[in-house]
Structure 1
């Protein structure tokens, strides 16, 4: 057995690991029906003002990132993006959405949208609290 430390992104390694996890998951849950799901808002020049990106899989909407440009925060754009993405996730058969955020980012925003805290990893020196949230549809 040989070990290797890799200090840069390596697509081949990541794909091999993900494929291994998928094979194991298939054995327990059957084939996955996963699809990317993103909603973006652009200005008249085509610049992205905000967006949400994630995927639907096994009746879950896994939200990977939600971002709104600083100049448009507080305008309701984040709520609109979330609502549009959730409508699509529900159309795909999702019954749950899940995400994580840091304590200084947006936990209160997500709570206002109906998300509940499922757990957290406490803050420690050099790292803020990480909060995991879910929302049932």
Structure 2
């Protein structure tokens, strides 16, 4: 892995990796959901957005994405990107300004995985 990182750094420079975690905790302090991402090469990748079942439809997902966008902008990012299955939330992300830039059909069978980005 180190030789690959050295090669990448020699071609693209230091990626400036920073991890982002916006946690949603229950009353007992346990983590119930949140947003996890990585900032690298001037973009934020949203790895996971998890809204607890009981909080869905109440704006929590939009709030977390808004906070992540604010963090990305503060770090000088050019935009954000993520992936989502058809059965997850592509329409939610479209409403937030994300566009599909790629699609992998039949992943899983009969569905698709959508690769989406939002440039600031």
TM-score (norm 1): 0.81
Matches within 5 A, 1:1-137: 16=1, 19-123=2-106, 126=109, 128-137=111-120
Aligned CA-pair RMSD: 1.6
* Matched pairs, number: 120
Change (3 A) 1:126 1:42: same
Cα 1:22–1:75 change in 2 (3 A) is same
The CA deviation at 1:109 is 0.5
Q: Unaligned stretches of 5+ in structure 2?
A: none
Runs of 4+ in 1 over 3 A off after TM superposition: 124-127
SS of residue in 2 equivalent to 1:101: strand
Shift of 1:23: 1.6
In 2, Cα distance between equivalents of 1:63 and 1:31: 20
State which structure, 1 or 2, has the greater radius of gyration over its C-alpha atoms.
1
TM superposition score normalised by structure 2: 0.91
Gaps of 5+ in 1: 1-15
Structure 2 Cα separation of the partners of residues 20 and 73 of structure 1: 43
Stretch deviating more after TM superposition (120-129 or 21-30): 120-129
